[in-house]
Structure 1
Amino acid sequence: MADGSGPSVAARDDLAGVVDLFGWLTRTELSRALSELAFKQRAEVDEDAIDAAIDLAVAEYALVPAPADALSGGDAGDLADAETEHAEESTALAVGPAAFSTLPEGAEDLPHILDVPDRGVDREALADAVLDRLREEAIEAIGEGDDDRLETLADVTYDVEAWAPVDVDPVRTRILAEVDE
Structure 2
Amino acid sequence: MADAPGVAARDDLAGVVDLFGWLTRAELARALSELAFKRRTEVDDAAVAAAIDVAVAEYALVPAPPEAIDEAGDGSTDVADPEDGPDADEVALAVGPAAFPSLPEGASDLPHILDVPERGVDREALSAAVLARLSEDAVAAIRDGDADRLEVLADVTYDVEAWAPVDAGDVRERIVAELES
- TM-score normalised over the length of structure 1: 0.93
* Alpha-carbon contact 2:81-2:91 (below 8 Å) kept: no
Find the counterpart in structure 1 of residue 130 from structure 2: 130
Find the counterpart in structure 2 of residue 78 from structure 1: 78
* Alpha-carbon contact 1:7-1:50 (below 8 Å) kept: no
Q: 2:174 aligned with 1:160, yes or no?
A: no
Count of residue correspondences: 178
Give the aligned residue type for 2:153. Answer: L
- Mapping of residues 1-181 of structure 1, within 5 Å: 1-3=1-3, 7-74=5-72, 76-80=76-80, 88-181=88-181
> What do the CA deviations read for 1:100-136 (whole angstroms, capped 9, x no partner)?
0000000011001000000000001000000000000
How far does residue 7 in structure 1 lie from its aligned partner after superposition?
A: 2.2
SS in 2 for 1:43: coil
Aligned-residue Cα RMSD (Å) equals 1.9
Against the structure 1 CA distance between its residues 138 and 87, is the aligned structure 2 distance closer, same or farther, given a 3 Å change threshold? closer
Give the aligned residue type for 1:127. Answer: S
Moved over 6 A (4+): 84-87
Q: Which whole-Å CA distance do the structure 2 matches of 1:86 and 1:23 have between them?
A: 18
How far does residue 26 in structure 1 lie from its aligned partner after superposition?
A: 0.2
Instruction: Mark the runs of 5 or more structure 1 residues left unpaired by the alignment.
Output: none
Q: Percent identity?
A: 70
How far does residue 43 in structure 1 lie from its aligned partner after superposition?
A: 1.5
